[in-house]
Amino acid sequence: MLTKKQKKVLDYIQEYSQKNGFSPSYDEVRKHFKLSSVSTVNHYMKILQEKGYIKREKNAARSVEIKKKESLISIPFRGYIAAGQPIEAVEEQETIAVPKNLLSYSGKHFALGVKGDSMIDEGIFDGDTVIIRKQNSVEDGETAVALINGNEVTLKKIYKEKNRIRLQPANPKLTPFFVKSVVIQGKVISTFRNIEKKEKSYKNIITPLFGQIKDINTEVKKIRNFKDETEIVNKIIVGDCLEVMKKIKDNTFDMIFADPPYNMQLQNELYRPNNTKVDAVDDEWDQFKSFEHYDEFTKAWIKEAKRILKKNGTIWVIGSYHNIFRVGNIMQDLGYWILNDVHWIKANPMPNFKGVRLTNATETLVWAVKDKKVKNYTFNYNEMKKHNFGKQMRNDWYFAICNGAERLKDEKGVKVHSTQKPLPLLERIVLASTKKGDLVFDPFGGTCTTGVAAYKHGRNFTMVEKDENYVDWALKRFKNFQNQLIGI
């Protein structure tokens, strides 16, 4: 998949080569696109090479060769939409060529230009272009094009509440507004940015929104071995969490987030009323011989987590009713002091298909310090008030489950990880209990939502994950996120 800007660079190389018989120099590419440095050109070339569109020789001038073309599709460009206060709906009769892979597998699509900054925490900035799939309804928490008052449109996260609809911005400085009804015109499925417009203001955008990211092209790598703690910063360690943690020295991390196996103890396959199979959590890593076996595993990793956590650090552990009470009990037995339990209330939970129990709509997070003597732990009280409209942050947090464009899926549309957590949930945890520059650890890294949240807000991270398929998807995720930040 190529973004709009990557496609323009590829087209320029091809057109130049056909006209002149040789490829352009990096400096010619830089001047053509009015880029600030040749290093930015090199970054484009690296992406095009990794994606198989060009090949190039080391230490050879004008050695870029086109390998294949990207498939583009023209879709209607319907004008501009407000990521702020609603603006009057105006449709422009234009089209825009977009990479095929930015579109959904099915449905009709159109594009809109964005005005305003109310959706910056969703990675949607003023001047961006969003691709919309036409549909007349969305799940709670999804970002949609909403028509209100008959002729005004806005881009917001949609939540259905009693007797009203909440249009929620993704910017902690802004408050939501409420209407009795809306007409949903479509759902946001992807975003891209025009680098020519953004290049000059790039640093000004990144600094206030994403903290102390000094190098947006920081290379996140997977490693298997390390000599000391300097080699694990912003790295994904491929290995068993217990074995890896034993190699890390005491008092290393400022915060730990853990999403351990649920130990669901599923006995049979689950089916919906229409007889379709439920994609349940039945992975091998979630299967234990007994509760005793699970408890032994839990004690072992929690004990190691306590050792490598700094004296004034905090730990967050998330779980469902299947495991969180056992985990909490073990934490207390090992001397942890619980600060809060936080209830993640899912806006769109999976229903109870058999109708024999209540719908399980929550998961519980335990937030704790190493012992009750710890007093100087990090809690960003005022930051949390910003995320709760100026009021004290409560321990009931409403987030939609991870779905839509955020959910990682393979080329067949199958979920990469069965328990991928929503990024906004991890962002709140990071912002609540860490400072810029802190080192965050996740022993069950998965596809590295914790790492993305930490990186996005100027924190460092260390992830551990034994499934290399998850790790490879995490690396793709980081690269895509970095590309979104600089609009390539």
Query: What is the DSSP annotation of 157-181?
Result: EEEEETTEEEEE-S-TTS--EEES-
Ranges 180-189, 193-202, 301-310, 445-454: which has the least confidence: 193-202
- Same domain (yes/no): 260, 361: yes
pLDDT of residue 340: 97
With a cut of 50, say whether residue 61 has pLDDT above it. Answer: yes
With a cut of 80, say whether residue 214 has pLDDT above it. Answer: no
Percent pLDDT > 90 in the chain is: 38
With a cut of 60, say whether residue 384 has pLDDT above it. Answer: yes
- Same domain (yes/no): 149, 163: yes
Q: How far apart are CA 316 and CA 252, in angstroms?
A: 16
Q: Which of 147, 167, 192 is the last residue of a domain?
A: 192
Q: Is 414 within the bounds of a domain? A: yes
Q: Is 198 within the bounds of a domain? A: no
Which tokens is 296 given? 């032994």
With a cut of 70, say whether residue 218 has pLDDT above it. Answer: no
pLDDT confidence tier of residue 211, bands split at 50, 70 and 90: very low
Ranges 40-49, 154-163, 420-429: which has the least confidence: 40-49
According to DSSP, residue 283 is labeled -
CB 235 within 8 A of CB 463: yes
Query: What is the b/e burial string over 290-328, where b = at least 16 CB atoms within 10 angstroms of the residue's CB?
Result: eeeebbebbeebbebbbebbbeebbbbbbbeebbbeebb
Q: What is the DSSP pairing of strand 129-133 with strand 183-192?
A: antiparallel
Place of tokens 């997070």: 365
- Same domain (yes/no): 323, 249: yes
- Same domain (yes/no): 398, 427: yes
Q: What is the DSSP pairing of strand 87-88 with strand 152-161?
A: antiparallel
- Same domain (yes/no): 36, 171: no
Q: What is the DSSP pairing of strand 94-99 with strand 87-88?
A: unpaired
Phi/psi for 369 (5° steps) reads: -115, 175
Amino acid type, 180:
K
How many domains, in total, are found in the chain?
3
Q: Is 197 within the bounds of a domain? A: no
pLDDT of residue 382: 92
Structure-model confidence comparison of residues 278 and 125, the more confident one: 125
Structure-model confidence comparison of residues 35 and 329, the more confident one: 329
3-state secondary structure of 375: coil
Ranges assigned E (strand) in 235-361: 235-238, 253-258, 309-319, 337-346
Mean pLDDT rounded to a whole number for the chain: 82
pLDDT of residue 69: 53
CATH code: domain of residue 436: 3.40.50.150
CATH code: domain of residue 59: 1.10.10.10
Q: Is 154 within the bounds of a domain? A: yes
Q: Which domain range does residue 154 map to?
A: 72-192
Q: Is 204 within the bounds of a domain? A: no
Structure-model confidence comparison of residues 106 and 108, the more confident one: 108
Q: Which of 192, 223, 252 is the last residue of a domain?
A: 192
- Same domain (yes/no): 240, 340: yes
Q: How far apart are CA 141 and CA 156, in angstroms?
A: 9
Q: Is 200 within the bounds of a domain? A: no
The answer for 413, left when phi > 0, alpha when psi is -120 to 50, beta otherwise, is left
Q: Is 350 within the bounds of a domain? A: yes
Q: Is 406 within the bounds of a domain? A: yes
- Same domain (yes/no): 76, 58: no
CB 81 within 8 A of CB 110: no
CATH code: domain of residue 99: 2.10.109.10
CB 260 within 8 A of CB 301: yes
Q: Is the pTM of this model over 0.85?
A: no
Q: What is the DSSP pairing of strand 152-161 with strand 143-148?
A: antiparallel
- Same domain (yes/no): 13, 152: no
- Same domain (yes/no): 48, 93: no
Cα atoms in the Cβ-side hemisphere of radius 13 Å centred on 80: 14
Amino acid type, 344:
W
pLDDT confidence tier of residue 195, bands split at 50, 70 and 90: very low
Q: Which of 38, 66, 94 is the last residue of a domain?
A: 66
CB 119 within 8 A of CB 83: yes
- Same domain (yes/no): 224, 328: yes
Number of H helices, E strands in the chain: 12, 21
pLDDT of residue 60: 65
pLDDT confidence tier of residue 203, bands split at 50, 70 and 90: very low
- Same domain (yes/no): 172, 289: no
Which tokens is 183 given? 């007409």
Q: What are 294-328's pLDDT values in tens digits?
A: 999 999 999 999 999 999 999 999 999 989 999 99
pLDDT of residue 346: 86
3-state secondary structure of 361: coil
Give the Å distances, CA to CA, from 404 to 83, 104, 400, 453. Answer: 19, 10, 10, 18
If you average pLDDT over residues 408-428, what whole number do you get?
Answer: 88
With a cut of 70, say whether residue 142 has pLDDT above it. Answer: yes
With a cut of 80, say whether residue 205 has pLDDT above it. Answer: no
Q: How far apart are CA 246 and CA 251, in angstroms?
A: 12
Rounded (5°) CA angle 304-281-265: 75
Indicate the helix (H) or strand (E) that contains 305: helix 291-308
With a cut of 60, say whether residue 92 has pLDDT above it. Answer: no
CB 393 within 8 A of CB 432: yes
pLDDT of residue 84: 60
- Same domain (yes/no): 31, 90: no
